[in-house]
Structure 1
Amino acid sequence: MPSQEYMDKMQLRQSYRNVWHTDLMSTIQADSPFCCLALWCGPCVSYMLRKRALYNDMSRYVCCAGYLPCSGRCGESRCPEFCLATEVFLCFGNSVASTRFLLQDEFNIQTTQCDNCIIGFMFCLQQVACIFAIVAMIVGSEELSEASQILSCLSDMVYCSVCACMQTQHKIELDKRDGKFGPPPMAVPPFQQMSRIDQPIPPPVGYPQQPAYGQPYGYPPPPPAPAQGYQAAAYSAYPPPGSYPPPAGSYPPPGYYGK
């Protein structure tokens, strides 16, 4: 059962907003020769695309791009070329899917609804063909056996076609990354950025708290300016020192004003 951390990272992939340069329906028109090459030489194309996705640096290689429990435990560091060749020939479907996940996590690419429908149809057709083959083997009916063989051939054709279109889609996206449709990238990203599914979710980034308006960093608020002019006289000591209490004899004697 996958951990909660793994599930959180899978949820993070659903928030991707970029799209493939070419969808699965348009790959044949976008690059017909490469699509035919991927149809007839799928494992070789898968090897080439994975190596290219790793920026031709096989020291970055991990089995199935780190998306399976066996990744990193197959001795990839000692002989990455042999391990990649074994992966693409023995686990061709996983190699194509791993390269797809690798590109999606690197460029924040989402899978469109049309692509999901095509991939889902391919899997459903394979399951139906497998069910028909099991039923035909149990019942022993020749009609069901022939129907299962037809469905198996059809599912294999759809599987090979979809994988070829997916590989062509990956190749076009790599052409876009390498600058064939625009300026080339500035530098190769570091190793830990190749597959974001293996990285911890980064902490939120924010700006430091700004000081009060008009107050520079690291300085206390300035003291008030000294009063000048009549304001200085108004704020001076009142009454003057020594004026209170009045000295004796300074007031007229009682009854003076009645005279």
Structure 2
Amino acid sequence: MSRYTCCAGYMPCSGKCGESKCPELCLCTEVFCCFGNSVASTRFLLQDEFNIQTTQCDNCIIGFMFCLQQLACIFSIVACLVRNDELSDASEALNCLADMVYCTVCACMQTQHKVEMDKRDGNLGSQPMTVPHAQQMSRFDQPLPPHVAYGPPASGGYPPGSPPPPAQGYPPTAYPSHGYPTPSY
């Protein structure tokens, strides 16, 4: 937090919000009042820090989000000027769709942020993340194919008090024997 600057220094107000005196309050205010700027500036910061290029897919998704928001804004203005109830309803539906796409894109960006910071901190382990193996679905009245193994192994599962093996690509985590895993952040 000693290095924190509002919106990572990418906004005109950055450095002028009292971040040095109370960075936690400034960060909380930034996230609640300027969520979009917070996500975007974190993305820019990580791209600059790790020399990451925006992919064509990222550009397409972000461009679609912006176009949908602009279209929703235009529909709202036209609905206000024309005062047509059907157009107003369509405008509200388009605004709702634009908000859902925006929230989805922000969630994807934040997941990318988390993965990059985990890589930086060495929390992803030595194995790269890969696509999981294909699984087959079966009905209850069908016998299981011999190559599909559901349920615990023949030995009765994991020993009492031991955690399951870590997910592929993630390091093992120390689990307390009485409940939930201890957070690593």
**TM-score, length basis structure 2:** 0.66
| Rounded Cα–Cα distance in structure 2 between residues aligned with 1:80 and 1:181 | 28
Question: What secondary structure sits across from 2:20 in the alignment?
Answer: coil
**Unaligned 5+ runs, structure 1:** 1-57, 184-259
| Rounded Cα–Cα distance in structure 2 between residues aligned with 1:108 and 1:182 | 21
Q: Deviations over 1:171-222 (max 9, x none)?
A: 0111111112357xxxxxxxxxxxxxxxxxxxxxxxxxxxxxxxxxxxxxxx
Aligned residue type for 2:30: E
Q: Deviations over 1:131-181 (max 9, x none)?
A: 100110110001110110110000000000010011011101111111123
1:96 equivalent in structure 2: 39
**TM-score, length basis structure 1:** 0.48
Instruction: Give the alignment partner of residue 112 of structure 1, picking from 27, 30, 55.
Output: 55
Q: Deviations over 1:25-44 (max 9, x none)?
A: xxxxxxxxxxxxxxxxxxxx
Q: Aligned pair 1:169/2:101, yes or no?
A: no
Q: What is the percentage of aligned positions where both structures have the same residue?
A: 80
Superposition pairs of residues 141-220 of structure 1, within 5 angstroms: 141-182=84-125
- Residue correspondences, number: 126
Q: Aligned pair 1:65/2:12, yes or no?
A: no
Q: Aligned pair 1:79/2:15, yes or no?
A: no
| Structure having the larger proportion of residues in helix | 1
Which aligned runs of 4 or more in structure 1 are off by greater than 4 angstroms? Answer: none
- Greater gyration radius: 1
Instruction: Give the alignment partner of residue 128 of structure 1, picking from 46, 71, 92.
Output: 71
RMSD (Å) for aligned C-alpha atoms: 1.0
**Unaligned 5+ runs, structure 2:** 127-185
Q: Deviations over 1:78-117 (max 9, x none)?
A: 1000000000000000000111111111100000000000
| Rounded Cα–Cα distance in structure 1 between residues aligned with 2:25 and 2:7 | 13
